[in-house]
Amino acid sequence: MPAESPFVIKKVKKTEHPHHGGAWKIAYADFVTAMMAFFLLLWLISMTTPEQKKGIADYFAPPNVSESNSGAGGVLAGTALDNDNQAKLQGSPTEAKAFTAPSNDHPGPLLSVKGGSDAVMGPPDDSKSTSKVDINSKFDQQFKAAAESIRQAWQAMPQVTDIAQNLRIDQTKDGLNIKIMDQDGRRMFPEGSKFPVEAVRQAISALAPILQKLPNQIQISGHTASGGKAGTAGYGPWELSMDRADSVRQILGEFGLSDDHVSSVTGRSSADPLFPNDPYLSGNERVEITVLYSAPPVPPNLSP
């Protein structure tokens, strides 16, 4: 008989590998989170317009607010516009002018008497210029107080705070100008509608009691951007801009502004773009409320 093959028994001793820990998982999670935040930032930057970027920058570092204790608190923490020559009006799309009263360098009309009743008046142009400067100086302080009151009223309304970048208050050669304007992705009036969104209605309602206290006349004008969609037959940008301006007038009247304060309500369509270099920009779609420098007319039965 053949010899039996021997049996070989191999014993393998198993040993456990040392535990490596989970620190790498935390580091990897942090890396993925950072990359997600980075790509989210890139996406947000690519989706915003230059106007929105400027608005975000102004929100975190507003150049138009100078430190003063004259404010009443709120979002600006008690700061307000003062007589600083570097102070600028909030949200002006172009470089704003210093909001200070112009100095009066012109003397009043000269009157000299020669031998009784003969009199010689000073130059008529100087007299007119001096009168205009005096009127502007008189209303500058009123406009400054009114603008600050409007801002504080808006800051106290959460819905209005959300559209703060669509509201502009600045001083022009005609007076105090308030703009309610569209931006990309945020309309103040639904497309083709003459009625404003609810937040805009609240902002307009806050204007009425403040403007009512001023003796000045008010002009309201509606504007559209070029290339807007045509409405129904016989109803286009001219009619739409006029109806939006009149809707603003009606809301102001509903909340306390008397009709004798309103001197005109006009629709300008796209004839007067806010950004002439880009008439198709959504910011051209707006309603402007201008508080005029000129005083209200004197009734015929009263002497000036």
Other beta carbons within 10 Å of 218:
23
In a domain, residue 141? The reply is: yes
Predicted confidence (pLDDT) per residue in 199-217, tens digit: 999 999 999 999 999 999 9
pLDDT of residue 247: 95
**Would residue 183 count as lying in a domain?**
yes
Residue 281 lies in a domain: yes
Q: What are phi and psi of 159, to 5 degrees?
A: -65, -35
In a domain, 229, yes or no: yes
d(CA 144, CA 176): 9
Question: Domain for residue 108, yes or no?
Answer: no
Name which of 60-69, 110-119, 150-159, 266-275 the model is least confident about.
110-119
Distance CA 122, CA 198 (A): 55
How crowded is residue 301: how many other Cβ atoms within 10 Å of its Cβ?
A: 5
- 88 in a domain, yes or no? no
Per-residue pLDDT of 270-279, as tens digits, reads: 999 999 999 8
152: in domain: yes
Q: Three-state SS string across 152-171, please?
A: HHHHCCHHHHHCHHHEEEEE
Nearest to 207 by CA among 144, 146, 288: 146
Can you say whether the dihedral through the CA atoms of 254, 259, 261, 263 is positive or negative? positive
Both tokens assigned to 84: 């600083």
β partners of residue 262: 218
30 — pLDDT class (breaks 50, 70, 90) = very high
On average, the pLDDT of the chain sits at 75
The Cα–Cα gap between 55 and 72 comes to 23
CATH of the domain at 218: 3.30.1330.60
In a domain, 110, yes or no: no
- Please tell me the total count of domains within the chain: 1
Contact predicate 184/282, CB 8 Å: yes
Beta bridge partner(s), residue 34: none
Question: Which segment of 76-80, 271-275, 295-299 scores lowest on mean pLDDT?
Answer: 76-80
By residue range, what is the domain housing residue 142? Answer: 137-292
- Please provide the distance, in angstroms rounded to a whole number, between the alpha carbons at the two ends of the chain: 147
216-263, pLDDT tens digit by residue?
Answer: 999 999 999 988 765 677 889 999 999 999 999 999 999 999 999 999
